[in-house]
Structure 1
Amino acid sequence: MKLKIKLILAFLLGVSLVKAQTNTYQFKRQITGVSTNWHSLTLPDGLYQKLNTGVDDLRIFGIKGKDTIEVPYLLKQRANEVNTAEIPFKQLNQSTIGDVYYYTFQLTEANVINQINLDFKQENFDWKVVLEGSNDNQNWFGILKDYRILSIKNKDTDYKFTKLSFPDAKYQFYRIAIKSNLPLTLTGSKTLRTDTIKGVYNEVKYQTYDLKNDTKNKETVIEVGLKTAVPISFLKINAQSDFDFYRAIRIEYATDSFKTEKGIEYNFSTLYEGTISSLEKTEFNFPNTITGRIKITISNNDNRPLRLSGLELQGNSYQMIARFDDLTNEYALYYDSENTLAPNYEIAKFESKIPSNLNSVNVGEEQKNPSYTVKVEKPLFENKIWLWALMVVIIALLGFFSFKMLKS
């Protein structure tokens, strides 16, 4: 009899320990297909809208009998990785023929470059540039022709585009020719090599597209609603105009919403601030951010609004790399927990030892976590015992002071 009681108590204790670790998470998704120690899994789109800011409340638990094991993981997002290296060079000479200014550079060692940044003393210019390369400073080969650089500075705009971008080139000498009717002073230059390791981007579909040209504030405002909250990190705007343009642009994302008499309103935070220009690609990259709504504001000043014909959105899905120590456990992904701190797993210190080729596991449909409990703190005086005790104290005090007054 005593043995049976001990077994029952042990079972109940085991169940309580399991619940103690998982009872703060509202939702779970079963994980199947665990066949080795290391696996990867991609977070489903429907999960993001219920995660805390910073994605801190994600956990994987393995349960077997009365034992619960927390599975360590790394959370990755595969965005473009851009590496820029400055390549040493020296300026050989500067010359002028008519209204054309020539600048010749020599790299200190043979190397590949694909970008030259220029700085000028002058402001408010619009010049065309020719870039050539040579290995003997005698025979020159064309790299860029009629490449436009621009600077505009006034009370409304402070915009400069003086970056020469071109396909990878490997010459010892480079010559820049700029045609200008006014004196020109080059104050600085850099030769660079930019390498981009392509990330994995997913197209994000939007449900609503609301464009308004606000003539009073001289701006165009676009609000875009997504089907559900997902990560976004890239925006391309399809913008056309009969003339060149350069305008301030601000991209914001909705942080929360609230009801008003006019309907649902949103609070926004800034994702990106910069310039949209006909000289550059109308593409914008920003940190991967989970949201279900974005707002784009373009300042038109006294210009006609741009012709905007939709946009493209992309984002980097989050991928988990997890270590499953016991293959016989039943595993599940738990999430949506208040006041949960980000986990600190030691595998982050040994990332180089994680296998490179990982098989993916399956993540099931969302379920409510049956062990989820919400601890509600009841008001102190909701308890009848406290109320009766308080009444007794009050009556005793009233009686004491009344007796004292009658006695005096």
Structure 2
Amino acid sequence: MATAKAQTSSYKFKRNITGVNTIWHKMVLPDDLYKKANAGFDDFRIFGVNGKDTIEVPYLLKQRADQVTSHDVAFEQLNQSSHHGGYYYTFQSTEINVINQINLTFKQQNFDWKVNLEGSNDNKSWFNILSDYRILSIKNNDTDYQFTKLSFPDSKYQYFRIAVKSPVQPDLLEAKISKTDTIKGTYQDVKYQSFNLKNNVSLKETIIDVVLTNPVPLSYLKLNAQSDFDFYRALKIEYATDSFKTDKGIQYNFANLYEGTISSLEKPEFNFENTISSRLKITIQNNDNKPLRLNGLVLKGNVYEIIVRFDDPKGEYALYYGNEKAAAPVYEIEKFESKIPASLSSVNIGPELKNPAYTIKTEKPLFENKAWLWVLMAVIIALLGWFSFKMLRN
């Protein structure tokens, strides 16, 4: 047990792991663990004890976020025509491909148009995919906003035709046609403790402070925003990195998490990098417009999961953390991730315990002992007496 104490003595906390019955397992980190762990989880260690032997167990820390892949599909523009206020653009592929997105780029910077999208396999019979789909571009001193991406269910045709309803001829510079696939990650709902909204008239902005009970992973925010008219506002999401005391109370330092636009044309849903925090600040720039009606929000975060290789399933294991000086471990299993079984059973992480083996080495002050102080005083008095005697003799 002396070896075990030596290896774990620098970690403040431990959580027992139960349910180990095979080599490979997975376990989900509990929410109340994040406030004590280091940023980046560099201090995570799993140690096992079997008899007199203590082993460090290799693991992989996985963040179950969405995996998005997108690849462009080659299409050639066949022709461009107009008819009764509609401008038509036809595209052909050498093969019949599945697509679900078309990104349009126009030379015009300010427009508000409706678009129809159709598909065909013979360039004669056309089938409707999108109707009266709104695209918009606004650029001025206050706003630079574009929404020109056509999103639709998977469609498999050799020909696609875009009809733009516009009073003037659009100058289409590019149509980027692609297929985007998303493998959904694992999310958990996050409840917030308080939701405080303030409309600052002088700064022409709405500020929302969101306080959580504990620091947890956050990667998704949905605002319940309403207005009687169409809107598009600059939006910024920040998270608290630390706090400090002032005469006015506790203040917070914030870092940027997301910058974009909240618009009536798009779902008010925002995805960002999974970040651990207990406080958010959301700023909506209203300019000279009436503030939006905001009545709550939805928060989610990606689950952190540990994949562990227990070489000896019969041992007793625990997760250790709480070491500010620990560096991230390097394990070989990271290079052989493809050989890890796809289906893993879960083990349990117990409640947080203080590590009984934790020891703090403190350097005692040199003059903590009173004897040293008396010796120092005697030396100082002797030196002062010698200098005084020397001065009097001169």
TM-score (norm 1): 0.92
* Whole-angstrom CA distance in 2 between matches of 1:353 and 1:325: 15
Task: Report the counterpart of residue 313 of structure 1 in structure 2.
Answer: 299
Task: Report the counterpart of residue 380 of structure 2 in structure 1.
Answer: 394
| Residues 82-106 of structure 1: CA deviation (Å, up to 9, x unaligned) | 1000111111111122432111111
Task: Report the counterpart of residue 328 of structure 2 in structure 1.
Answer: 342
What is the one-letter code of the residue matched to 2:143? Answer: T
Task: Report the counterpart of residue 283 of structure 2 in structure 1.
Answer: 297
* Whole-angstrom CA distance in 2 between matches of 1:377 and 1:217: 52
Structure 2 residue runs without a partner (length 5+): none
Task: Report the counterpart of residue 380 of structure 1 in structure 2.
Answer: 366
Choose which of 97, 101, 113 in structure 1 pairs with 2:83.
Answer: 97
What is the one-letter code of the residue matched to 1:101? Answer: Y
Choose which of 137, 141, 145 in structure 1 pairs with 2:127.
Answer: 141
Q: Does 2:257 align with 1:283?
A: no
* Whole-angstrom CA distance in 2 between matches of 1:341 and 1:179: 60
* Whole-angstrom CA distance in 1 between matches of 2:232 and 2:251: 30
Choose which of 171, 175, 194 in structure 2 pairs with 1:189.
Answer: 175
Residues 262 and 89 of structure 1: CA distance in aligned 2, closer, same or farther (over 3 Å): same
Aligned ranges 1:223-372 → 2 under 5 Å: 223-372=209-358
Q: Does 2:221 align with 1:221?
A: no
What is the one-letter code of the residue matched to 1:293? Answer: R
CA RMSD of aligned residues (A): 1.7
Task: Report the counterpart of residue 21 of structure 1 in structure 2.
Answer: 7
SS at match of 1:394: helix
Q: Does 2:59 align with 1:73?
A: yes
Deviation at 1:290, TM superposition (A): 1.0
What is the one-letter code of the residue matched to 2:242? Answer: D
* Whole-angstrom CA distance in 1 between matches of 2:305 and 2:346: 10
Deviation at 1:231, TM superposition (A): 0.8
Deviation at 1:198, TM superposition (A): 1.1
What is the one-letter code of the residue matched to 1:356? Answer: A
Higher strand share: 2
Deviation at 1:384, TM superposition (A): 4.5
| Residues 173-205 of structure 1: CA deviation (Å, up to 9, x unaligned) | 111111222232111121010001111111111
| Residues 85-131 of structure 1: CA deviation (Å, up to 9, x unaligned) | 01111111111224321111112322100000011111110011111
SS at match of 1:17: helix
Q: Which shows bigger deviation, 225-234 or 116-125?
A: 225-234
Query: How many residues end up aligned between the 2 structures?
Result: 394
* Whole-angstrom CA distance in 2 between matches of 1:93 and 1:388: 100
Deviation at 1:364, TM superposition (A): 1.1
SS at match of 1:170: strand
What is the one-letter code of the residue matched to 1:234? Answer: Y
Deviation at 1:158, TM superposition (A): 0.4
Deviation at 1:378, TM superposition (A): 3.3
Q: Does 2:66 align with 1:61?
A: no
| Residues 215-248 of structure 1: CA deviation (Å, up to 9, x unaligned) | 1111111111112111111111111111111001
Deviation at 1:387, TM superposition (A): 3.9
Residues 389 and 108 of structure 1: CA distance in aligned 2, closer, same or farther (over 3 Å): farther
TM-score (norm 2): 0.95
* Whole-angstrom CA distance in 1 between matches of 2:366 and 2:135: 71
* Whole-angstrom CA distance in 1 between matches of 2:254 and 2:204: 20
CA contact (8 A) 1:24 1:338 kept: no
CA contact (8 A) 2:21 2:314 kept: no
| Residues 140-189 of structure 1: CA deviation (Å, up to 9, x unaligned) | 11111100000001111000111011110011111111122223211112
Q: Which shows bigger deviation, 39-48 or 327-336?
A: 327-336
What is the one-letter code of the residue matched to 2:271? Answer: N
Q: Does 2:173 align with 1:173?
A: no
Q: Does 2:109 align with 1:123?
A: yes
Structure 1 residue runs without a partner (length 5+): 1-14
What is the one-letter code of the residue matched to 2:210? Answer: V
Task: Report the counterpart of residue 99 of structure 2 in structure 1.
Answer: 113
CA contact (8 A) 1:102 1:177 kept: yes
Deviation at 1:26, TM superposition (A): 1.4
* Whole-angstrom CA distance in 2 between matches of 1:66 and 1:388: 50
Task: Report the counterpart of residue 70 of structure 2 in structure 1.
Answer: 84
Deviation at 1:389, TM superposition (A): 5.2
